[in-house]
Amino acid sequence: MDAIIQIENVHKYFRGGIHALRGVSLEVGKGEVVVIVGPSGSGKSTLLRCINRLEQYEEGKIVVDGIPLDSAANINAVRQEVGMVFQSFNLFSHMRVIDNLTLAQRVVRKRPLEEAKAVGMDLLAKVGIPDKADAFPAQLSGGQQQRVAIARALAMNPKIMLFDEPTSALDPEMINEVLEVMLDLAREGMTMVVVSHEMGFSRAAATRVIFMDEGQIVEQGSATQIFGAPTQERTKAFLSKVLHH
Amino acid sequence: MKSNPKKRVDAAPKTIISITGNDPNMRMDAWWWLVAAVVVVTFLLVVFQPDPYQRILIYVLDGIGLTIGVTVISFILTLIAGMIGGLGRLSKNRIISGAASLYVELIRGIPLLVQLMWWYFAFPAIIRDTGKALNIGFMANYLPDGTIMAIIGLVICYAAYMSEIYRAGIQSIPKGQMEAARSLGMTYVQAMRYVILPQAIRVILPPVGNEFVALLKDSSLVSAVALADLSRRGREFASNQALPIQTWMMVALLYLILTLVSARIVGWIERKTKFER
Ligand SMILES: Nc1ncnc2c1ncn2[C@@H]1O[C@H](COP(=O)(O)OP(=O)(O)OP(=O)(O)O)[C@@H](O)[C@H]1O
Ligand SMILES: [Mg+2]
């Protein structure tokens, strides 16, 4: 398997002595869809944010698509290849949807405006809201905003997409429209690392489910294995809580 | 689509709302009426009481020009210096943020008048003394240009306050905006330029506008360092002609026109740049 993300023994400490990641190692292959689950505070977001260096880590090594995350130039190079979708969407609120989609294409990828717009419009059609190009983010529903956020990341033609609880800020009726877009991406062979407790998505798309607790990977396997027959006590305890909901 | 995006809380002071109700257009009209009233009073005085009001106006006219010129130039420089100071205070580099904080704390602790004195009298004296000690002729004979020294003094003082406004404005932008920009591969400078500052500027517009009006009024202090601004010309006329009441009334009216009109322009720009969040 061709590892496009290699994480080796990463430790992360926050101010105040919080040891958020305790020696995490993980390899993600090209085209894999890895779903991370685990209790609040277990370090899921921190791990995800280390992959594109939104968070620094004190120990260990991360290599993305052959580029080690060790210099400012490399970090920017990696970020251009890695799209990220946040729980709170984080659309640029002063810009129309189309400008959200073209900004990074223009200033980072140096694409001409017309080309960037064409890419943006294609992606808006793909995520199902081609009519919202001229809207401001505040005029969109949460589900629509998150789909724009996904399109914005895709506009950079990333090789990897990271999702940090993309549906947990959404009203229930909007969760599916976002999951649909993510499922499409998975089917097209995008490499994805997804923090999400949406088991339907995991069952349909995950090549691997990882259970994290207290800054460590406790257990991993297929969705059927992890959700159906977990081997570790901590996994069982966590799943019993989540499944009740 | 969300049916009704939350209405923005209006940043206008409460007093204004209570006087003229909640419709922003009505409010604008009411305040333009005040501007008009002050202009009309001034106009009537000048036309129907040309002696002394027209004489006063003609005498102080160049002072008005100087006041506006010094204020506008100082304000533009303050906007730039304040941005540098604000970004400096937010820098992760301890030396840069420490230096910026020290500057802000020192400057805010010294009255503007004293700062102006310092730039006009003390600073040139230091240069002259140094020039004499080192035998450098042009420094030993250095004479300050009053206008330049006044502008330096105003800018260095106001930029300290302005950098605090910038800092608060930048900090009011949710962290996720910077993270989203960086995750798309933008550099820190690109993220600031295209994402953070455009949003922060809309947030800080009301306090920045207030700073302009405050600077306009505080520019009257430059009369203390021999600059012939509006208030200095007024003082000259009042003491030459022994007409304190009329002169100072005219000067006050002229300042009022300047400040009221600038406040209206600031309000107009604010409305133009408002956007839904
Ligand atoms: N910026 C920060 N400063 C200090 N501590 C932090 C910071 N971010 C996270 N932590 C701590 O690091 C640990 C891991 O946090 P993280 O956000 O990665 O958890 P998570 O698994 O994503 O949880 P959740 O499901 O609530 O999002 C927690 O103990 C958290 O309190
Ligand atoms: Mg999290």
A and B: number of Cβ contacts within 8 A: 77
> In this structure, which CATH number among 2.60.40.1120, 3.90.1150.10, 1.10.3720.10, 1.10.30.50 belongs to the domain B50-273?
1.10.3720.10
pLDDT at residue B148 tops 90: yes
Q: In degrees, to the nearest 5, what angle opens at C-alpha B166 toward C-alphas B163 and B172?
A: 140
pLDDT given for residue B268 in this prediction: 86
Smallest Cβ–Cβ distance between B185 and the set A80, A138, A140 belongs to A80
Q: What is the pLDDT along chain A (245 residues), one digit of tens a residue?
A: 579 999 999 999 999 889 999 999 999 999 999 999 999 999 999 999 999 999 999 999 999 999 999 888 899 999 999 999 999 999 999 999 999 999 999 999 999 999 999 999 999 999 999 999 999 999 999 999 999 999 999 999 999 999 999 999 999 999 999 999 999 999 999 999 999 999 999 999 999 999 999 999 999 999 999 999 999 999 999 998 876 54
- B40-48: long-range contacts at Cβ-Cβ below 8 A with a sequence spacing of 24 or more? B41/B253, B42/B250, B42/B253, B42/B254, B42/B257, B45/B250, B45/B253
pLDDT (mean) for B72-101: 96
Closest residue by CA, ligand 1 atom 25: A40
Task: Tell me the shortest Cα–Cα distance from B210 to chain A, in angstroms.
Answer: 23
Question: Contact, B171 vs B90, CB < 8 A?
Answer: yes
Confidence bin at B137 (pLDDT 50/70/90): confident
pLDDT given for residue B2 in this prediction: 38
For B31, residues 6+ apart whose C-beta sits below 8 A from its C-beta are B16, B20, B260, B263, B264, B267
pLDDT given for residue B271 in this prediction: 84
Write down how long chain A is.
245
pLDDT given for residue B82 in this prediction: 96
Ligand 1 atom with the smallest distance to the CA of A47 is 18
pLDDT given for residue B19 in this prediction: 42
- Enter the DSSP assignment of B136: -
pLDDT given for residue B224 in this prediction: 87
Task: Tell me the shortest Cα–Cα distance from A240 to chain B, in angstroms.
Answer: 32
Return the ligand number nearest the Cα of A212: 1
Question: Contact, A215 vs A22, CB < 8 A?
Answer: yes
Ligand 1 center–CA A43 separation, angstroms: 6
pLDDT given for residue B28 in this prediction: 58
For A70, residues 6+ apart whose C-beta sits below 8 A from its C-beta are none
- The larger pLDDT score, comparing residue B101 to residue B276, is at B101
Looking at chain A, which runs of residues are DSSP E strands? Answer: 3-14, 18-29, 33-37, 59-64, 67-68, 82-85, 160-164, 191-195, 208-213, 216-221
- Per-residue pLDDT of B193-235, as tens digits, reads 999 999 999 899 999 999 999 999 999 999 988 788 999 999 9
pLDDT at residue B25 tops 90: no
Select from B184, B187, B201 the residue whose CB has the most chain A CBs within 10 Å, as the one to mutate to test that interface. Answer: B184
Question: Contact, A67 vs A78, CB < 8 A?
Answer: yes
Give the position of tokens 């040891």.
A19
- Per-residue pLDDT of B27-70, as tens digits, reads 556 778 888 999 999 999 999 998 899 999 999 999 999 999 99
Question: Contact, B34 vs B260, CB < 8 A?
Answer: yes
Confidence bin at B16 (pLDDT 50/70/90): very low
For the question of whether the overall pTM of this predicted structure is more than 0.90, the answer is no
User: At A235, which amino acid appears?
Assistant: T
Ligand 1 center–CA A192 separation, angstroms: 21
Side-chain-side CA neighbours of residue B183 (13 Å): 33
ipTM for the assembly: 0.93
Give the position of tokens 């000067």.
B251
d(CA A168, CA A88): 9
Q: Verify whether the Cβ–Cβ distance A90 to B275 is below 8 Å.
A: no
pLDDT at residue B26 tops 80: no
- What is the best residue among A12, A18, A55, A56 to mutate for testing ligand 1's pocket, by most ligand atoms within 8 Å of CB? A18
Ligand 2 center–CA A166 separation, angstroms: 10
The mean predicted confidence, pLDDT, of chain B is 87
Ligand 1 center–CA A52 separation, angstroms: 16
Task: Tell me the shortest Cα–Cα distance from A236 to chain B, in angstroms.
Answer: 33
Confidence bin at B267 (pLDDT 50/70/90): confident
pLDDT given for residue B127 in this prediction: 93
**In chain B, where are the structural domains located?**
50-273
